[in-house]
Amino acid sequence: MKIEPTETYEAIEYYEAENINIDAFRAKKLCDMAFYEGQSSPNIKQLEWTDHLRHYFANTPFGVYLILKNHNFEENESWTLYFSSYVIDECIDSDKAQEIAQADFKRRVMKCLDL
């Protein structure tokens, strides 16, 4: 995940390599670039999962993600991902369910930021 303004750094390195003075206009452009990069790529924290027997849960400000192992008698195990008692997805393993939960959490945070 992007956590620094790499395009802005590249522009500054270009100006330095070409011995181009950074006047007020260019300085403002660089500030705008850095601001935009920071706004468009916020660092979303990773969910912290608690393992409890055959289920995992992660608390968030929006609600709780819960991953439950399904009790079936077939060879293939499956897991169900819930968010605040609503089913989000069925998965073949708990790692995939955690990935889906993280993506859902990121989507919810980004929606709040109105970017």
Q: What are the tokens at 67?
A: 């991953």
Q: H or E stretch including 65?
A: strand 64-69
Every domain of the chain and the residues it spans: 6-40, 50-113
pLDDT at 37 over 50: yes
> Shortest CA distance to 67 belongs to which of 56, 76, 52, 78?
56
**DSSP labels for 51-65?**
EETTEEEEE-SS-EE
- Work out the pLDDT band at 33, boundaries 50, 70, 90: confident
For 113, phi then psi, to 5°, come to -80, -15
How confident is the model over 44-97, as pLDDT tens digits? 889 999 998 879 999 999 899 999 988 776 667 789 999 998 999 998 889 999
